[in-house]
Amino acid sequence: MRIVEPWIMVEKIDGKKIMKKIERACRTCYRSEGKISEDSYKTLLTNCITRGHESVLEHEKVTVRIYSDIGSYKDLTRHRHASFSVESTRYCSYDKDKFGNEISFINPVYIEDKEVYKTWENTMKEIEIGYKKMKELGATTDMCREILPHSTAAEYTMTANIREWKHILALRTTKHVHPSIRQVLIPLLKYFKEEMPEIFGDIEYDEEFNPNYYAKLIIDKEA
Ligand SMILES: Cc1cc2nc3c(=O)[nH]c(=O)nc-3n(C[C@H](O)[C@H](O)[C@H](O)COP(=O)(O)OP(=O)(O)OC[C@H]3O[C@@H](n4cnc5c(N)ncnc54)[C@H](O)[C@@H]3O)c2cc1C
């Protein structure tokens, strides 16, 4: 078995370009395209958000690829306006060469108590032994997945428009949210805050969450 760290890959975005495109769409409402200047998007977007005129944020989208645990996508796929492609535990057989013949589990780094962590680790080992044994006995991947725990590592691609990202990031970066989600989404929120301060600047997140737990944020320059 492998114990792995999570990461989040986000397409390289030009926040100013996104906001200017939203401004152009929004100005259709007032036929005020003539007022567009280098920085006019700032006041326009701030006013729209303050007044709840948020549908304009739906004109632009961002895609991310996340490597985290099954538990995190179980929660995030509840967001109905986002789109997902999720690694299938029905089709991915973790005893195959392509997975190194082993199951990967996301390191629950936030479990700091040594005894609790050791118990988790031993349980994961037992699960992998059981998975391989079931395969040897002729079980299908469908059958084997019955024993996979929330900690199982999986990749998923997630796309949402800016309005939905604002909603998701406001909901899913607070101290009430499971650490495996805060791990990946706080770094994403911080990136969005830098790129699009007029849209994401006011979102509060759990600032007490240990930055050592943050997942690595990878900027995908190819996307
Ligand atoms: C801290 C936390 C704990 C949670 N605990 C649980 C739990 O114990 N059990 C559980 O089942 N879920 C739980 N959830 C999930 C939660 O109830 C939502 O299902 C999930 O967060 C999706 O959010 P959403 O419905 O706001 O939005 P989305 O699906 O992202 O939709 C965005 C917005 O669109 C609007 N919208 C979407 N669909 C409809 C609709 N059909 N009718 C009207 N308006 C709509 C709403 O305004 C909604 O806020 C939890 C979420 C959080 C953040």
83 C-alpha vs ligand 1 centroid, how far in Å?
15
DSSP type of residue 213: G
Q: What is the pLDDT of residues 11-35, one digit of tens each?
A: 999 999 999 999 999 999 999 999 9
The model carries a pTM of 0.95
Task: Report the candidate in 70, 92, 73 with the shortest Cα–Cα distance to residue 83.
Answer: 73
For a substitution probing ligand 1, which of 57, 58, 75, 163 has the most ligand atoms within 8 Å of its CB?
A: 75
Residue nearest to atom 16 of ligand 1 (CA): 78
Counting other chains too, the contacts that 202-205 makes at CB distance below 8 Å and 24 or more residues apart are 202/49, 203/166, 203/169, 203/170, 203/173, 204/170, 204/174, 205/169, 205/173, 205/174
Q: What are the structural domains of the chain?
A: 1-13+59-223 (3.30.1360.170)
172 C-alpha vs ligand 1 centroid, how far in Å?
11
26 C-alpha vs ligand 1 centroid, how far in Å?
27
**Token duo for residue 179:** 């650490």
Give kind and range of the element (H or E) at residue 48: helix 40-51
Q: What is the pLDDT of residues 124-161, one digit of tens each?
A: 999 999 999 999 999 999 999 999 999 999 999 999 99
Task: Report the candidate in 51, 43, 183 with the shortest Cα–Cα distance to residue 109.
Answer: 183
Nearest atom (ligand 1) to Cα of 172: 53
Say what the pLDDT of residue 97 is.
Answer: 87
Q: What is the pLDDT of residues 58-99, one digit of tens each?
A: 999 999 999 999 999 999 999 999 999 999 999 999 988 889
Q: How high does pLDDT run on average in the chain?
A: 96
Say what the pLDDT of residue 141 is.
Answer: 96
Say what the pLDDT of residue 74 is.
Answer: 95
Say what the pLDDT of residue 199 is.
Answer: 97
The binding-site residues of ligand 1, defined as CB within 6 angstroms of any ligand atom, are 78-81, 164, 167, 171-172, 176-177
Residue nearest to atom 30 of ligand 1 (CA): 79
